[in-house]
Amino acid sequence: MKRNQVSIAVATALTVIIGCSESINDNTPNAKETPTPAIQEEVLGSRVEVEAVEADAIQVMPSSPTAKIAYRRAAHKQLAVMSMPNPAPYLADPFFEPENRDKYLDTPSNSTHLVATTPLSTFSVDVDTGSYANVRSYLKMGNTPPADAIREEAFINYFDYNYPAPSTKVQPFSVNTELALAPWNAERQLLRIALKGYDIPINERKPSNLVFLVDVSGSMNEPNKLPLLVQSLSLMAKNLGSDDKVSLVTYAGNASVVLEPTQGDDQQAIINALKSLQAGGGTYGESGIKLAYQQAKNGFIKDGVNRVILATDGDFNVGVTSLDALKDLVEEERENGISLTTIGFGRGNYNDAMMEQLANIGDGNHAYIDTLHEAQKVLLRQMSGTLQSIASDVKIQVEFNPNTVKEYRLIGYQNRKLRDEDFNNDKVDAGEIGAGHTVTALYEVTLVGDQGRIDDLRYQVNTSGKAGFGDELAQVKVRYKLPGEEQSKLTTQLVNNNKDKRQFTEASTDFQFATAVAAFAQKLKDNHYVDGLAYSQIADIARENRGDDPHNYRGEFVSLVEIAQSL
């Protein structure tokens, strides 16, 4: 087809596309914002043929950046289709994305509570970071993540903070609090509760009996899935010793044992077994997980770490697909001393809802690996914390003083909330803290006398004349069990009011950075609580409080905020 005919075809096709694009984006709050750097580079790097088409069809070139991107994408597509003997537009489209069947739990942001009616807030700790890495992969591809993919606590806990370490292993973690004004609303303050676990050098950790349960179904045949998975687990294998054991179980159309329990220092055998994996077939997850637990029992190490590490891109679509049935199986094996960690890969049919819940029930943690850099973080730098728990069934209960605090809102931990009576019940399962892990929880609080979100109650009990407990804002209680023990221990700490209302910029560097992360997660989730803070302000706070950042995790966060601003 001649060039002028191509341009006519493109111009005709794009008239409708551009019109729709401008119509849609004119009603979008971010319509006038600059496209992401990735998209800009993609557009500026267009082929010469596209520029030639545009030269002939310049009269229909739109002026808005968003519509220009739509125009050029369509031009790419049109040229690719016309160059094929039998046009197949969706196969030829370089921007085509397959249907996204990712699954997430419904996790709306926590609401605000009046202290007069609900003075207690109880939840289980959580150190999972999978949500942050998963959302990062969306943003780096130029896509806005689903709101339910965002778990605020996973964003906050993705980063290390320089909290004081405990002075003794009798209480395996320290408890610290900090209070300052919220940067998004002068009527709100932020209360940070911070836990820091003691660290264990790799040469002092308990021996580990690990079972790699690997999904090798057909959908894993992508560069960011099985090949990345093999590289990631190989990194971990290189840091195991003679006291450790490794098994390898795969599942696809059926399940099989690729490697029986093998000593950890036989690294070549482990790596060769991993490198032998090939993707193909269905996803018979039921058989795979049962076989993995059987291998864990075969290699069981008394008083050691016995753990199944499930690595997959998606769902169990053959056999036991009921999440409740899987939960029962994982809970039963947890009682037998075998924990479960889940690691997600790839995009398209990723079942985040299942992965996160199974890890919670299995006394493990949930991570998402999108790059080898992330694999190094999860499986190397944080290996001791990933494998070895220093405290189990860790629960936090905060009691707010109605004489000083009017309202509160817990940021994140939606699916880790507990009933108030569960706090003292040692039979109720809760989260684990691994060696060296930090746990951070942020409350947004409104003090008495400030303008809250909820009107004062007309018929509330008058507390005048009763003990006001001075300037106390809250009492923080933490329950936990030491490894191998059945009875929990309790530690408490009081939070006093700062009458001068400490300014946000006076808070510690870690406090300010964690606040920026919390604000970013909430803004991405579009929950309206941080409307008073723009993406650019969040980036500025994070940039100014980056601190010591040897692996560029905080620097990367700043770039993610800037990408989100342009979407």
Phi–psi pair at 453, nearest 5 degrees: -85, -25
Task: Count CB-CB contacts under 10 A for residue 466.
Answer: 10
Q: What is the pLDDT of residues 75-132, one digit of tens each?
A: 444 433 333 334 333 333 444 445 567 889 999 999 999 999 999 999 999 999 999 9
Residue 276: its pLDDT value, please? 96
Predicted local distance difference test score (pLDDT) of residue 457: 82
Which phi-psi region, left, alpha or beta, contains residue 508 (left: φ > 0; alpha: ψ -120 to 50)? beta
Report the 3 state secondary structure along 343-360. EECCCCCCEHHHHHHHHH
pTM comes to: 0.81
Quote the pLDDT of residue 99: 59
Q: Where are the alpha helices (DSSP H) in 45-118?
A: 48-56, 65-82, 89-92
Given phi > 0 = left and psi -120 to 50 = alpha, else beta, which region is 501?
left
In the chain, which residues have pLDDT < 70? 1-100, 317-321, 460-468
Res 61: pLDDT:
41
Q: Specify the 3-state DSSP secondary structure of 557.
A: helix
Identity of the residue numbered 202: I
